[in-house]
Structures are given as C-alpha cells and as structure tokens.
Structure 1
Amino acid sequence: MRRVIKKLMSISTSQAVEQTSSKSHPSDNSERNTEEQIQVVKNHRQQMHVGASLNWEKPKALQDELPTVPEFQPELLPNVMSEVVMSEARRMDNAPADYVAVSNLVCLASIIGNTVGIKPKRNDSGWIVYPTLWGMIVGSPSMKKTPTMEIAMKFLSRCQTAYLDPLNREKAEQAEIHNKVTEQTKEDLQKKAKQAFNEGDIELADKLAREISQLEVKSGSPRSLIINDATIEAIIIRLVDNPNGILFFRDELSGWFAELKKKGREHERAIYLQAFNASKTPYIVERVGRENITVPSLTLSILGGIQPEKLKGLLAEKRSGDGDDGLSERFQLIVYPDSNQCCYVDESPNEEAISALYAVFLKLVTLAEKDSTICEFDEEAQIVWNNWSTKHSESLKHESSEWQAARGKHPALLAKLALIFHLVEEAEKCEGTAFSFSKVVRKHHLERGMDWMSYLELHLQKVMMLGTQEIAQNTAHALLKNLSKLKGAFTKQQLAQKGWRGLKTPEEREKAISTLVACGYIREVAKPNKHFVIHPDFC
C-alpha cells in the first residue's frame, strides 16, 4: 500500500514539475492559443450581457403557421364584375370573394381565347400575348370552392345555351346545304375534266382539276365553351372545332395531376404546356394506325380547386425534381385565402348586377366570329409598363430559382389582365348589338393589373411556404432542442461546426434560424460581431 502511495506521489510531483516548466517556458503556439481562448471568453461574456439586456417576451409555440393574406378588395375588379363577385360570395354564406373573382377571370379569358391579343412592347411585334389563364383555388372542403367556381361557370353555360347552341344549329344547316352543293359541283367538274382529258385538252383538264382542289367542305361541328373530365385525345379533337380555345374545368385538380403521372400518359404534360401559350401555329398529331389530326391553334384555359394537403404533396414532388417542368407555375391565378370565415347568410341574388355581367360575357363570346385583333398600350400606359418591366427584370436577378420560375411569367400575366379589364370595360360601354372595341389599352387597366400582381404575390408566398412548411418545422425543432448546448449565443459558423441532424446544410440552418427568430426563441445581434442570442429560458 505504501509503495502504491509513493508511486502516485511521484507521478503527481512529476506532472507538477512539467506544468511549472511549461508555464515558465511557454511556446509561441500556447501563447496564441491562450489569447484566443481569452478573447472567446470575452466575446461570449459580452454576448451574454447583450442577451440579458434584451427585453424578451414569451416565445410563440412552434406550429404550422402560414402568413396571412388580406381580404379581397372590390377595387381589384371593374365595377360590373366586383358587384357580382362581392354579392355572390356573401350570398354563399360569406365564402371567399377571391374564389369568385379568379373563377370569373379565367372564364372571361377562355371565351376571349386567341381572338384578341396584346403587344406589350412598343417595338417588338414578335411578342403577342393572348389571355389564356390557369386558375387554382386552394382551400379546405368546407370553404365552398365548387359553388363559388360554378357562379362563373353559369355565365359560360348561359352563353352556350342562349347564343352558341342556336348559332351551332344554324351553322350545321348551312354546312349541310353547302356541302351538298359542293359535292354536286365536284362531280360535275370531275366529269368535265375526264371528258377534256379524253379529248386531249390537257390544259382544260388541269384547270378543272385545280378548281376541284379549291372546293372546301364546311365543318358542321358545334362550338363549345367547356370541357370537363376528358383525355388529352378528346381535348385535342374538341380543339379542332374550337381554334379560339375552350375552358378545361376540373372540380378537383389533384385527380388531374394524378392522371398525368400514370404510365403511358407522360406525353400529355407537354401538350398542356404548349396549350397555355395559345400559339397560332398549327399543332399536328400523328399516330401510327390513326388518322392525323391538325389543331389550328392549341389554346386552353384551366380552372379547378385543390385542398392544401394535396397541394403540399405536389409542391414536395416539384422540389424533388419530379414534375419540375413549369406546369405548376402556369397556374398563375392561385389563391389561398385565410381560414374559413363562412357564416349563415340568406340574401336574394343581385339580379341587376348579374344581368349586367352576363351582357359582358355575351358580347365577348361573339369575338370568335370576327378576325383576330391585336391591341396596344396608349402612350401613358406604355411608360408605366416600361418602368414596371424594368424594375421587375432587375428584381428577378436577386430571387431564388424557385421564385424566378414563378415570377418570370408575371409580365405576360400582367399584360393579359390589363387586356381582359380593357375588353370588359369596352363590352360594358357598348350599347349596340354588334360588339366593337378600341384597340388601345389605357393606363388604369394596367394599374389595376399591377394591383393584382401585388395581391397574387402574397398568395404565392403563402403557397410556397406551404410547400416548405414541413421542412422548416423539422429544422426549427432540431435547433430548438439543441439551444441549451450553445451557451447563450452562437454564430452561423459555430452552428455549422456542430453537424447536428437536421441542421447539416446551409439551407436547413437558414430555415431553422429564421423560424426561431420569427417565434422569439433567438434574436440577431450585430455587435461585437453578427451572432444570435438565445432566449434566457432556453439557455
């Protein structure tokens, strides 16, 4: 036992001598390390002092909170539209007016189609925008998505019944008579051409052959405004007789997105993508064993609803790279109002306002019977457009790739909205039976469109946060449970060195920090260096 004690005392003495020697003969490295440690302690004490001096409030619970969006304002629409939108939304037990407004805009865009376009730039005649719109309304099943969309759909149905169906019957009868005469004329010419050929008059035979080739058969196929649950092949066939475009309506868009992922239907996405552009270039479909189909113009507007959880899954797929082809970004009129504000309302429909808006629809539906028209901005509106476009282009340079993909199409959307507002006002003012309109779009229509851009961006922010919500919450919880290990304060560099699960990438750490700052768990402090101070209750 004594030998063991002596040995321990000997070891302790030796260590003490070594430590004394080390202190009496410090190396340059040890001095530098000591100074750095002292500075770290000083900085930490200063950070702790700053944190203690802050006025802290109780942090908010980490929960799935999305940013709020303002209530829809009637000033966003021309009066003839806003009266119907606000009164019908209220009559639907105070349903979101956003739903009714977006549905009406998409329906108006579908009947204008590619009959009227706008040239946003004064000198660039190659860029023509036609007002096709894709609208998506987001909300829970109890928020009356379907009834509010049907308010706008009824205007199309009335136009179909009151105007197009009689016109279709008349055209079908005319086509039948015309085709009978054409067929008889063709037979007569063929006989004459054969006789001329037999007699050796080749010149006359060729002339008659050219006349035969110029004979046209009229189509008696009816024009229609709406198509519902249909395959892409059925839509293409419908578009052959509706070159000005139609509305594809799906009550639940989640089912449509699911269909596009089925095996053997991958090619459909590309067709829908092109249909959004309302190109005047003919679209030719060739299939082995089937007759070729030529669509004069592939033009399609889309309207539908979706539940937040279904949309969240679609956004997650897009982030993973699946379906990241620009299809979802084409739903530019996407609205996600705040929680349900429904309450029992018993009011009569505003028949006068409904009749006035129906008259606008009825005038616009006649545009397909006329030649295509191109509008321009007036001088004052052109200056506003140029200034807005310049600022918009500059702002895109500083956006993330996700925001660039979404906001990159906003100039075309703004031009479309300005054109629609212009045509609505022109139709409202037109008192005659024949609809004629000015080809000059004025400033107040463009400014109303700019208000819509601000309004839609707030909803887009909410939708994008819905897509990253789960990731943000997971990273925030990962940082929250480790706050006590950070000794009251930390820098981004210090956090990166920890390598904690859920906080390994810069993106994860940024999401976690921003979430905890927003909820009051940490605060950003600039002095003595940029760092984050932790709430005293979580140190």
Structure 2
Amino acid sequence: MECFDGNGSFTYDRIGRGTIYIKSCCLSLIGGIQPSRIASLVNAAVSGELDDGLIQRLQLAVYPDDVREWRYIDRWPNKIAAERVSEVIEQLDQIPDESHSALRFTPEAQEKFIAWYTSHMQASRSDHLHPALQSHYLKMPKTIAGLALLFELIEGGREAVGAESTDRAINWANYLMSHAQRLYGAAINASLIAARLILERQQKLPEPFTAREVRQKDWTGLGTQDAVNNALAVLAEHNFIVSYEVAGEKGGRPSTRYVWRKT
C-alpha cells in the first residue's frame, strides 16, 4: 500500500543487507507474459467476475504481432543503446532528494495537454466502448502526464514540462490505446471469435449437433458450456444455424439440437 502513489515511504530489514529506507516508494511492473496467461485476468475483468482494476493499471502494456516465421539470429547487443540507457538511469538517480517538487507544464504544454485531455475524455465516455476498456482509457491521462514528465527529465529538464515532451507523450497515447484494444478485444469479442471457429470447423461436427458435442471438441475459446452457448447464440442470430427441440427419452427434459442453414 505504501507504493500506491509514490509518495509513501518504507523501511525493511535484511540480515545480509541491513536496514534500507526508501523515502519515496513506487512499485512498477516490467516483463513479458504469454497471452494465454493474461487471458484469464482480462476475461475476469471484462465479465465483471474479478474487476479489481489490476489490468486497467497495466497502462504501458503492448501486444505485439506473433512472428510466424522464425529464423536464427546471432549478433552483438546494441552497445550504444545499452550505454545510453545506463546513462539515463544514472542521470535520473542523481537527481537530489530535496528536489522532489512538482514540475508543472509550461503554458504552451498545458494548452496541448488540455486539448488532448478534453478530446480523450469525451471519446472515452462513449457508449460504444466496453466498460472494462472504458475504465482503462479513463486512467490514461495520468499515464500521459507521467510520460511527459519522464521525457522531460530524460532530456535534462528540471524546471517545467515543455511542449516537446508533451507532444511526445501524447503521440504515445494512440499507440497505447491500440494495444489496449487488442488486449481486451479477445475477451470482449470472445463469443464472436468462438462462433467463427465453429463456423470454420462445421465439417468436424455431426449433423445435427448439440452444444455438448461442441463442448467435447475442447476448441480454443470453447472450454466452458457458457462459451459454447454464447457462440451458438451468435451463429443463430446471424442465421448460420437453426435450433429445434427433441423430446427427451422416458419423459426427460428436451434437448436442443442444431442444423446448419443451407445457403
């Protein structure tokens, strides 16, 4: 909790390292994760099952394209880039503790940020956005302001956040929003994606077929009965399949069967 906003402090003791006092404690996440691993968290956020705001706080998340063609590469790391990164980290680390004061936008930068902020917030409140993605977008202004500050500090600025750094941060907004759409897209459009998969593999199903028979295939995105039912509902809504009831044996419950609509 001390890491919540970067203003809290924390002290911890280690036998080998002694007592360490962190004046301004801030926790950041960096690394990679497989899409299948993060999918459950995104699905839970989209469905509302576990909408604790964690995914929405991964503001710098990127979802790159999968490189299908693999080839062996053996080359030296980019030494110049590595040295530049080390210099930036060292430079930021040398900022005196007593200089922990707020940097404001310059008047020109403030106008740029307000214009972007107004446009972004109006678009983010659109009824066409899924609530989970909307929540992600609504947290983005703080990210963009933070990036503008970081860019300014990296370039050596210490007085105010200028227009150039602000422009650079705003340019990141569209990039990050596009990756957020991709991150949430699979969960938001799960029923559509699953329906298309059933449509593509219709020849692997009997005629007629049941939802249970689809579930038994254990295809990607169709691992639960609810997922199967939602996908079949999409297919029925778009007139790809027709459903009908079959009376159960010995007075049991009727079952639903599906047949493909002939074109």
Tell me the TM-score normalized by structure 1. Answer: 0.34
In structure 1, stretches of 5+ residues that fail to align are: 1-270, 285-293, 427-436, 482-500, 517-536
Partner of 2:148: 418
2:194 corresponding residue in structure 1: 474
Match for residue 303 of structure 1 among 30, 33, 47: 30
Mapped contact 2:186–2:193 kept (Cα < 8 A): no
Partner amino acid, structure 2, of 1:366 = Q
| Residues 277, 471 of structure 1: alpha-carbon distance in 2 compared, 3 angstrom cutoff | farther
The answer to whether the 8 A contact 2:152-2:161 is kept is: yes
In the other structure, the counterpart of 2:166 is: 446
How far apart in 1 are the matches of 2:117 and 2:26?
A: 26
1:122-164 per-position Cα deviation (integer Å, ceiling 9, x unaligned): xxxxxxxxxxxxxxxxxxxxxxxxxxxxxxxxxxxxxxxxxxx
Task: Name the residue aligned to 2:71.
Answer: 343
TM-superposed deviation, 1:379:
1.8
- Which of the numbers 173, 177, 198 marks the counterpart of 1:457? 177
Would you say 1:392 and 2:120 are equivalent positions? yes
Where in structure 2 are there 5+ consecutive unaligned residues?
12-20, 203-228, 241-260
Structure possessing the higher radius of gyration over alpha carbons: 1
* Secondary structure of the structure 1 residue equivalent to 2:28: strand
> Does the alignment pair 1:408 with 2:138?
yes
Deviations along 1:13-32, one digit per CA (max 9) or x if unpaired, are xxxxxxxxxxxxxxxxxxxx
Q: CA deviation at 1:329?
A: 1.0
TM-score normalised per structure 2: 0.65
Identity of aligned residues (%): 27
- Give distance in 2, aligned partners of 1:369 and 1:283: 15
Deviations 1:446-483 (A, max 9, x none): 111112111111111111122245422334467897xx
Report the residue type matching 1:392 in the other structure: H
- Map of 2:44 onto structure 1: 317
Q: Which structure has more helix as a fraction of its residues?
A: 1
Offset of residue 390 of structure 1: 0.8
Aligned length: 203
Deviation at 1:306, TM superposition (A): 1.1
The more displaced of 460-469 and 323-332 is: 460-469
Q: CA RMSD in A?
A: 3.3
The answer to whether the Cα contact below 8 Å between 2:63 and 2:182 also exists between their aligned partners in 1 is yes
**In structure 1, distance between residues paired with 2:22 and 2:149:** 25
Q: Does residue 358 of structure 1 match 2:78?
A: no
User: 1:199-235 deviations in whole A, cap 9, x for unaligned?
Assistant: xxxxxxxxxxxxxxxxxxxxxxxxxxxxxxxxxxxxx
Could you say which residue in structure 1 is the equivalent of 2:17? none
Distance 1:327 1:417 in 2: 20
